[in-house]
Amino acid sequence: MVGEKRVLVAMSGGVDSSVTAALLLEEGYEVIGITLRLMGAEEKGSGRQGCCGLEAMEEVRRVAGELGIPYYILDFEEEFEQEVMEYFCREYACGRTPNPCIPCNQKLKFGKLLEKARGWGIDLIASGHYARVSYDEERGRYLLKRGVDGTKDQSYVLFNLTQEQLRHLLLPLGGLEKKKVRERAKELGLRVHNRPDSQDICFIPNGDYGSFLHRRMPEIIKPGPILDQKGKVLGRHKGIHLFTVGQRRGLGIAAGKPLYVISIDRDEGTIIVAGEEALYRSELIAAGMNWITREGLTGPLPVKAKIRYRHTPAEATLIPLKEGEVKVKFSSPQKAITPGQAVVFYQGEEVLGGGWIKD
Closest CA to 124 of 10, 200, 17: 10
Q: Report the distance separating Cα 272 and Cα 259, nearest Å.
A: 10
Cβ contacts of 31 within 8 Å, gap of 6 or more: 7, 9, 21, 24, 25, 67, 69
Question: Which residue among the candidates 52, 89, 101, 202 is catalytic per the annotation?
Answer: 202
Q: Residue 77: which H helix or E strand, with range?
A: helix 77-80
Question: What backbone torsions phi and psi does residue 355 show, to the nearest 5 degrees?
Answer: -160, -165
> CB of 154 within 8 A of CB of 147?
yes
Establish how many alpha carbons lie within 13 A of residue 60's alpha carbon, considering only the half-sphere containing its beta carbon: 27
- Angstrom distance (rounded) from CA 41 to CA 43: 6
Bridge partners, 73 (sequence order):
35
Please give the Cα distance from 108 to 73 (Å, whole number). 14
Torsion, Cα of 89, 220, 43, 60 (10° steps): -20
User: Is-catalytic flag, 52?
Assistant: no
Q: Note whether 355 and 287 are within 8 A (CB).
A: yes
Options 51, 52, 89, 104, the catalytic residue? 104
Q: Is 104 a catalytic residue?
A: yes
Asked if 37 and 154 touch (Cβ cutoff 8 Å), the reply is no
Q: Where are the beta strands (DSSP E) in 137-250?
A: 141-146, 169-170, 224-227, 233-237
- Distances from the Cα of 23 to the Cαs of 18, 42, 109, 133, 218, in angstroms? 9, 35, 20, 16, 47
Q: Which of 23, 122, 26 is nearest to 72 (CA)?
A: 122
Give catalytic residue positions. 104, 202
